Amino acid sequence: MTTVDMTPVTEKGAPTNPRRRVYRPNAKYIPIIATLSLLMIMYSSGVANYENFGDPSVFVNLFRDNAVLLVVAVGMTFVILTGGIDLSVGAVISLTTVLTATLLKGGWPPLVVLPTVLALGALIGAGQGAVIHFFKVEPFIATLAGLFLARGTALTINQESIPIRDEMWKAISEYRIVLAEGVVTKPIAVVALLAVLIAAVTLAWTRFGRNVYAIGGNADSALLMGLPVGRTKIAVYTLSGFCAALGGVLFSINSTSGWALQGNGLELDAIAACVIGGVLLTGGSGYVWGTLLGVLVTGLIQTIINFQGDLNSAWTRIIVGVLLFAFIVLQRLVTRKAR
């Protein structure tokens, strides 16, 4: 009697075990897995080489010290996911801090100043989005114009540092949230994490989030599918402007001052954090959680340099630059393999 071998075989004829499954992560998760791995290696290295680096307060302080960057990077994530860029966010921060300090010094109630400056940031973002959509202007050029407009307006209002003496602002700045014995944080860190959570839910569970990914994947196809491409683009830049203004408010709370040069270059830090976090520069792929990891990586680099003590802070920029090159190459390899 002839028996038939029913063992599954591969295309080359080699037998395979049907019970054995090798997990291969989706290509779109590879950059964020790489970022998480890098963060864990850096943190483990810091714990192994520096005394007190493993103290919980060191890790908690990453969120406090990078709260402004994290909020701005959240808005930048939405923009990059659509295939755009926003160079104006740093200037919007400076305008927000100067305007906030000026209005509070003039006797405006804090609960009036707060929505006013947030609305201004959103309005600047909406204007840029409208110019990009209706006049087909490249995002780089439109937001560069917004950068000069916001920074010039801030310098026109006041070129000197303006102290904030409002009681509410000072109370929030001095307030501490106790997480554990010897571990405290500031309200600005909580606001930043809430921004990440809201953004993650929006991208994952709302129609707006799906539209953002669709436009970044292929705007022409999204238009043919009947998606509101123009409205979504304007909304994305409005959100970025709002996040920049919120970052400016957090900056003013943390420093209790306003200055026209605050936030200078922060737009580049936000873009770097997004890229290191796995957000594809051409749009359509990436996660807010990846951006959070990217911010933590850049913050951890500065923390390690501070613990080392004998390194210039310029090394932060050098290392971030090297990581940017590495992750851009990784993105290129992943997208090429996916095709």
Distance, CA of 146 to CA of 94 (rounded, Å): 13
How many structural domains is the chain composed of? 1
Residue 117 in domain: yes
Residue 21 in domain: no
Entry pTM: 0.91
Q: What is the per-residue burial (b if ≥16 Cβ within 10 Å, else e) of 297-327?
A: bbbbbbbbbeeeeeeeeeebbebbeebeeeb
CB-CB neighbours of 202 under 10 Å: 17
10 Å CB burial of residue 123 (0-12, 13-18, 19+) is: middle
Residue 15 in domain: no
The predicted pLDDT at position 126 comes to: 98
Spatial neighbors of 26 by CB under 8 A, at least 6 apart, are none
Residue 112 in domain: yes
Q: What is the mean pLDDT of residues 204-212?
A: 96
Percent of the chain scoring above 90 in pLDDT: 79
The predicted pLDDT at position 80 comes to: 97
Q: What is the mean pLDDT of residues 187-200?
A: 97
pLDDT of 3 over the 70 cut: no
User: What's 277-326 look like in SS3?
Assistant: CCCCCCCCCCCHHHHHHHHHHHHHHHHHHHHHCCCCCHHHHHHHHHHHHH
Distance, CA of 273 to CA of 298 (rounded, Å): 7
Segment 220-241, tens digit of pLDDT: 999 999 999 999 999 999 999 9
The predicted pLDDT at position 337 comes to: 63
Return the SS3 of 185: strand
Residue 22 in domain: no
Residue, of 23 and 249, whose pLDDT is higher: 249
Distance, CA of 184 to CA of 171 (rounded, Å): 16
The predicted pLDDT at position 23 comes to: 46
The token pair at 188 is: 């600005």
Residue, of 18 and 317, whose pLDDT is higher: 317
Residue 138 — pLDDT band, cuts 50, 70, 90? very high
Residue 17 in domain: no
Domain at 147, CATH number? 1.10.3470
The predicted pLDDT at position 74 comes to: 98
Domain that holds residue 196: 27-45+55-306+313-338
Distance, CA of 12 to CA of 211 (rounded, Å): 42
Residue 9 in domain: no
Distance, CA of 69 to CA of 126 (rounded, Å): 21
The predicted pLDDT at position 2 comes to: 44
Spatial neighbors of 98 by CB under 8 A, at least 6 apart, are 154, 157, 158, 162, 258, 259, 260
Residue 144 in domain: yes
Distance, CA of 339 to CA of 333 (rounded, Å): 10
* Least confident segment among 3-17, 82-96, 130-144, 281-295: 3-17
pLDDT of 216 over the 80 cut: yes
Q: What's the sign of the alpha-carbon dihedral 227, 230, 233, 235?
A: negative
pLDDT of 271 over the 70 cut: yes
Residue 334 — pLDDT band, cuts 50, 70, 90? confident
Segment 76-85, tens digit of pLDDT: 999 999 999 9
Spatial neighbors of 202 by CB under 8 A, at least 6 apart, are 208, 209
Q: HSE (CB half, 13 Å, CA atoms) of 92?
A: 38
Segment 35-93, tens digit of pLDDT: 999 999 999 999 999 999 999 999 999 999 999 999 999 999 999 999 999 999 999 99
Across all residues in the chain, what is the average pLDDT? 90
